[in-house]
Each structure stands twice: as C-alpha cells, then as structure tokens.
Amino acid sequence: MSQKPMIAIPVIARTLPELEEELTALAPLDFDVLEWRMDGLSSLSPALVKKGLALVKSHCQRPVIATIRTSEEGGHFPYDHATYEACVKAAMENLTPRCDAVDVEMERTPAPRLIEKARALGLSVIVSFHDFSRTPKKEEIVSRFLAMKDRKASIGKIAVMAHSDMDARTMMDAMAQVHKTAPDFPFIGISMGSCGQVTRTEGGKAGSILTFASAGEASAPGQIALADMCRILDKAYR
C-alpha cells in the first residue's frame, strides 16, 4: 500500500500579472503538479480563465490541476452555478488531455454535467469535497469516496478539518479502508490543520496519491512548506 505521494503546489493570485510572477518563481522548484486556484482571481470569467491557463501552460511543463474552490468549501469564489459551470468548462477546453486535471466539487449543481464533459475531453476529473469545520465519522468519509467513484471520478478528493490527533487517525483509517475496498480507485485524503499534518506526510501509506505543499502563501490550514515536505517524504518513503 505504501507509495510516496506526488507533491502539488497550489498557486493563488489576484491578477494575471501576479500569476505570471508566481509561475516564474516556481519554475526552478522541485514538485510534480501545479494547481492553479482560479478562484484567487479578483474577478472570474471564462475569458480570464482562458488567458490565465495560457500563462500557466507557457510557464509550466508539469501536469496542471485547474480548480475553482467555492466559498461553500473554503475558497474565494462566491458560488453561482452558471458562472461556476461556464468557467470550469472554459478551463477544460484549455487543458491538455491525458495529462491535466480539472477539479469539480461534488456538491455543486452542475457536477454531473462537468464530470461527463471532462471525461469526454480525455481529462482527469478530481471530484472533491471539503469541510473546513469538522472531521466526519470514518464511515461517512468512506461512503463519500465510494460515491465519487460511482459518479465516474478519475480521482476522489476529500479534505476535512482535524481538531485532534484522533481526527487525523479517522482520515488515515478511512483512506486505508477505501484502498482495501476499491484498490484501483485513485484518491487524495487530507486532514487540514496542525493536527492533521500526518495525513499530508503519511497519507501515501494509506493509499493517498497526492499531497499539497506551499511555496509561499498556504492555500489551506496545516499545509507544509515545499522544502520541508520534500525532506519529510524522502525520509518516510525511502
């Protein structure tokens, strides 16, 4: 089961010039995947998504995850389903098939249509759920991961808030159960907050395929700096 997870770096910028600056700074760093958090833009439209992804693709040769994190799930985008759907579709149309991925929040109204479109375009679709308030019971986490699988997610992602070491253990146990039940289903499990950092570094031992690290401003509580993450993972998975 134990497999060293890939490292993703999230990029959050308010403007396209800021985005280009951050991409330039990231170029020499050692990581596997770039996540562009499109919801960081001060305004969001399909046209801006297209321009932003052109910048991302010109500066980054790594796989890209295009994400709009809504305010319902801890992000910056004040959700309305029409804008969300239009911007996620615009992202899909400017990503590279069989390389890049798009994040689709499981609870959003357009999710079934967006999942279907991503798969038709040959993109990986990360079906995600975030809870910044609590850690659900193990059974609920497992059930939600398996529901993502049933909804044709390429990858399932669940990130929840840990308030204790026991909360982090709940996530680790849930991931191990999912990996045992559906060994061919790739997933990402994260307990946010300082109590959950073990899931970011040890999650691969329970089946999680990806962890997030920061190369500047953290995009979620408990995120570990890239240099520290590389050192920890090299030691934990050697």
pLDDT at 182: 98
With a cut of 70, say whether residue 112 has pLDDT above it: yes
Residue 148 pLDDT class (50, 70, 90 cuts): very high
Q: What is the pTM for the complete model shown?
A: 0.96
What phi and psi, each to the nearest 5 degrees, are found at residue 87? -75, -35
3-class DSSP state for residue 73? helix
Of all residues in the chain, the percent with pLDDT exceeding 70 is 100
> pLDDT tens for residues 204-229?
999 999 999 999 777 788 899 999 99
- Which one of 89, 117, 157, 205 is the catalytic residue? 157
> pLDDT tens for residues 185-208?
999 999 999 999 999 999 999 999
Going by C-alpha positions, the residue among 151, 219, 211, 145 that lies closest to residue 183 is: 145
Query: Up-side HSE of residue 42: CA atoms within 13 Å toward CB?
Result: 6
3-class DSSP state for residue 28? coil
Write the CA distances from 33 to 6, 63, 128, 133, integer angstroms: 7, 5, 17, 27
Residue 127 pLDDT class (50, 70, 90 cuts): very high
Residue 238 pLDDT class (50, 70, 90 cuts): confident
pLDDT at 1: 57
Of all residues in the chain, the percent with pLDDT exceeding 90 is 95
Average pLDDT of the chain to the nearest whole number: 96
pLDDT at 81: 92
Rounded to the nearest 10°, the torsion over CA 228, 234, 235, 237 is 130
Going by C-alpha positions, the residue among 145, 106, 111, 147 that lies closest to residue 128 is: 106
pLDDT at 221: 82
Distance, CA of 207 to CA of 142 (rounded, Å): 13
Per the annotation, the verdict on 180 as an active-site residue is no
Strand runs (DSSP E) across 108-209, as ranges?
124-131, 155-161, 187-192
- Which one of 130, 149, 179, 205 is the catalytic residue? 130
Q: At the fourth CATH level, which superfamily is domain 6-236?
A: Aldolase class I (3.20.20.70)
Per the annotation, the verdict on 76 as an active-site residue is no
Mean pLDDT of 112-121: 98
Residue 33 host element (H or E)? strand 33-37
> pLDDT tens for residues 172-184?
999 999 999 999 9
Domain spans in the chain, listed from the N-terminal domain onward: 6-236
Rounded to the nearest 10°, the torsion over CA 181, 172, 109, 220 is -160
